[in-house]
């Protein structure tokens, strides 16, 4: 272990210089000042903050009651806010993130997807209970959408709330390159607030000299998870959003980072956590900070209680992925403290805001009898051997888990490693009911992705109402690509 530590330290030496430069750059870069400077929309020329809200993908046939959209993946050089476009960038519909897929619960969705890149691709609708054929995994394993080809994804929405879609092949490089987009599914009883704002959080690792994506890095970085040098909100490091005092905003956050956990606060504002991965919560709660693991979502209501004319920043606090007293010393190129993510700029007005009406969620509780145990997973890392494993093996050699369909079932995930792993399960939804012998601090409703802290066992439960062969994996994308994944057959 000592050898691995020093190997990691030596590999980090070249990065340390760029880290110092990065820190210095952050110290001199005042994001509040940027609001009146060269930040703004993708043109880079507009000094004004952006309007609070989003523009959905165009529904090709609004009359048919469902949603039908064109989606094209292609090479696209996009500017992460550094002023230097990323030459190896990829995008959906020439936008990073891709445009919002907006629909209503119960809608039939048809996505006419065209792969105009040079690599095989499959799309995954993260968190949505679609059929196995539409989930992206069967395609990934045998029949991808090849360059120049098209595929029609079609599914009915049985889940409301905030989701995202992304490629599911070579994810550590393709998601890093920009292939991700939000999904908003409105539910009955949802009353639109003054502003509905989806924000995709991501970090990219850029070479200090070229400001281009750093090439696929060392084995050790694969194991540690790739942490970026630029923090982005909706694809840029310099976003600012216009706000009016008194307004109510539904802030929908998704973490699309390869490995970074985000720990967020908004200066002088409080969050009300109203939703998570699988829709709205039964019991909203207030929080100063929220933590999001890769793949996770949260929905926050923020009342604009600030001062007209003032600017407030969304700040990210460093989250340590490895346990404090472990063998590995973790290195974050963003430094040890807080970094700004985006700004909210108040105009000189004030209004009587819409307030917030919490939709009634569909979240049963399993506080009663303990359902039967479907499986106990064991997550391990071997830093010396350079492997991340589930049940002692790496994908595709992890033994298949077989469980009944439509039976309340418990699963335990034991993390025997010294690092956090965000565990993502396709096809079915879950609730976290126990963390090392105690219920979680806050009920998080339906989840598809959840943090498994180091040396901790988390118990989840599901009704398993979507049969099929589903993938599960760590959502640290380097770990997923290294084989920290397996398959589960629901419905024996």
Which positions touch Cu ion (CB under 5 A)?
A: 421, 474, 476, 479
Report, in Å, the least distance between residue 113 CB and Cu ion: 28
**Residue 265: what are its φ and ψ, rounded to 5°?**
-140, 160
Which value, to the nearest 10 degrees, does the dihedral of the CA atoms of residues 77, 80, 81, 82 take?
Answer: -80
- Which residue number, 318 or 479, has a Cβ lying nearer to Cu ion? 479
Rounded Cα–Cα distance for residues 353 and 195 (Å):
10
Measured at the alpha carbon of residue 378, what is the angle toward residues 377 and 379, in degrees to the nearest 5? Answer: 120
- The residue number with the shortest CB distance to Cu ion is 474
Report, in Å, the least distance between residue 297 CB and Cu ion: 19
Q: Hey, what are 205's tokens? A: 């690792």
Measured at the alpha carbon of residue 371, what is the angle toward residues 369 and 376, in degrees to the nearest 5? Answer: 135
- Which residue number, 245 or 476, has a Cβ lying nearer to Cu ion? 476
Nearest to 278 by CA among 251, 297, 250: 297
Rounded Cα–Cα distance for residues 81 and 44 (Å):
8
Strands (E) in 79-205, as ranges, are 90-92, 101-104, 108-116, 123-126, 150-156, 161-167, 180-186, 195-204
Report, in Å, the least distance between residue 177 CB and Cu ion: 21
Report, in Å, the least distance between residue 423 CB and Cu ion: 8
- Which residue number, 315 or 458, has a Cβ lying nearer to Cu ion? 458
SS3 at position 63: helix
Whether the CB-CB separation of 125 and 116 falls below 8 Å is answered with: no
- Which residue number, 421 or 424, has a Cβ lying nearer to Cu ion? 421
Report, in Å, the least distance between residue 99 CB and Cu ion: 30
Report the Cα–Cα distance between both ends of the chain, in Å, rounded.
42
- Which residue number, 236 or 421, has a Cβ lying nearer to Cu ion? 421
Report, in Å, the least distance between residue 225 CB and Cu ion: 7
From residue 363, give the alpha-carbon distance in Å to each of 159, 160, 328, 444: 12, 12, 39, 10
Residues 6+ apart with CB under 8 A from 236: 39, 42, 79, 80, 81
Rounded Cα–Cα distance for residues 426 and 424 (Å):
7
Report, in Å, the least distance between residue 414 CB and Cu ion: 13
- Which residue number, 303 or 482, has a Cβ lying nearer to Cu ion? 482
Report, in Å, the least distance between residue 215 CB and Cu ion: 22
- Which residue number, 313 or 322, has a Cβ lying nearer to Cu ion? 322
Whether the CB-CB separation of 407 and 467 falls below 8 Å is answered with: no
SS3 at position 33: helix
Report, in Å, the least distance between residue 15 CB and Cu ion: 21
Whether the CB-CB separation of 229 and 206 falls below 8 Å is answered with: yes
- Which residue number, 319 or 356, has a Cβ lying nearer to Cu ion? 319
Report, in Å, the least distance between residue 388 CB and Cu ion: 6
Rounded Cα–Cα distance for residues 195 and 300 (Å):
12
Whether the CB-CB separation of 363 and 281 falls below 8 Å is answered with: yes
- Which residue number, 302 or 474, has a Cβ lying nearer to Cu ion? 474
Rounded Cα–Cα distance for residues 52 and 195 (Å):
6
- Which residue number, 445 or 454, has a Cβ lying nearer to Cu ion? 454
Report, in Å, the least distance between residue 202 CB and Cu ion: 18
Report, in Å, the least distance between residue 248 CB and Cu ion: 36
- Which residue number, 343 or 449, has a Cβ lying nearer to Cu ion? 449
Handedness of CA 440, 442, 446, 452 (dihedral sign): negative
- Which residue number, 223 or 254, has a Cβ lying nearer to Cu ion? 223
Give the rounded distance of the alpha carbon of 359 from its chain centre.
23
């Amino acid at each position: 272990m000592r050898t691995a530590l020093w190997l990691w330290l030596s590999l980090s030496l070249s990065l340390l210089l760029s880290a110092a430069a990065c820190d210095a750059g952050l110290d001199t870069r005042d994001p509040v000042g940027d609001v009146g400077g060269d930040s703004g929309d993708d043109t880079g020329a507009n000094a004004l903050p952006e309007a609070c809200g989003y523009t959905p993908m165009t529904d090709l046939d609004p009359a048919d009651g469902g949603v039908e959209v064109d989606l094209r993946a292609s090479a696209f050089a996009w500017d992460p806010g550094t002023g230097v476009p990323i030459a190896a960038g990829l995008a959906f519909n020439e936008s990073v993130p891709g445009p919002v897929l907006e629909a209503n619960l119960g809608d039939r969705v048809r996505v006419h997807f065209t792969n105009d890149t040079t690599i095989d691709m499959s799309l995954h609708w993260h968190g949505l209970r679609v059929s196995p054929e539409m989930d992206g995994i069967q395609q990934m394993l045998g029949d991808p959408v090849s360059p120049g080809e098209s595929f029609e994804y079609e599914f009915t929405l049985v889940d409301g709330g905030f989701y995202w879609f992304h490629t599911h092949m070579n994810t550590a490089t393709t998601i890093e390159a920009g292939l991700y987009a939000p999904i908003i599914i409105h539910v009955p009883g949802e009353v639109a607030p003054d502003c509905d704002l989806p924000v995709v959080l991501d970090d990219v690792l850029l070479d200090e000299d070229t400001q281009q994506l750093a090439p696929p890095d060392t084995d050790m970085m694969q194991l540690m998870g790739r942490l970026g040098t630029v923090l982005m909100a909706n694809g840029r490091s310099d976003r600012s959003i216009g706000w009016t005092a008194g307004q109510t905003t539904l802030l929908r956050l998704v973490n699309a980072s390869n490995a970074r956990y985000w720990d967020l606060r908004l200066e002088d504002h409080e969050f009300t956590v109203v939703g998570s991965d699988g829709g709205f919560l039964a019991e909203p709660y207030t929080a100063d900070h929220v933590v999001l693991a890769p793949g996770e979502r949260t929905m926050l209501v923020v009342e604009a209680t600030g001062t007209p004319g003032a600017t407030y920043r969304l700040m990210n606090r460093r989250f340590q992925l490895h346990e404090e007293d472990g063998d590995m010393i973790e290195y974050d190129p963003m430094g040890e403290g807080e970094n700004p993510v985006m700004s909210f700029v108040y105009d000189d007005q004030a209004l009587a805001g819409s307030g917030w009406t919490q939709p009634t969620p569909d979240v049963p509780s399993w506080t009663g009898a303990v359902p039967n145990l479907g499986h106990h997973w064991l997550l391990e890392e071997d830093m010396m051997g350079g492997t991340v494993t589930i049940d002692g093996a790496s994908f595709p050699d992890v033994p298949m888990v077989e469980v009944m369909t439509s039976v309340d079932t418990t699963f335990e995930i034991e993390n025997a490693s010294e690092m956090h792993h965000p565990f993502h399960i396709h096809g079915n939804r879950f609730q976290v009911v126990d963390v090392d012998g105690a219920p979680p601090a806050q009920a998080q409703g339906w989840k598809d992705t959840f943090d498994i802290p180091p040396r901790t066992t988390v118990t989840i439960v599901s009704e398993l109402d979507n049969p099929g062969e589903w993938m599960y994996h760590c959502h640290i994308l380097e770990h997923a690509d290294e084989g920290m994944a397996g398959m589960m057959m629901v419905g024996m």
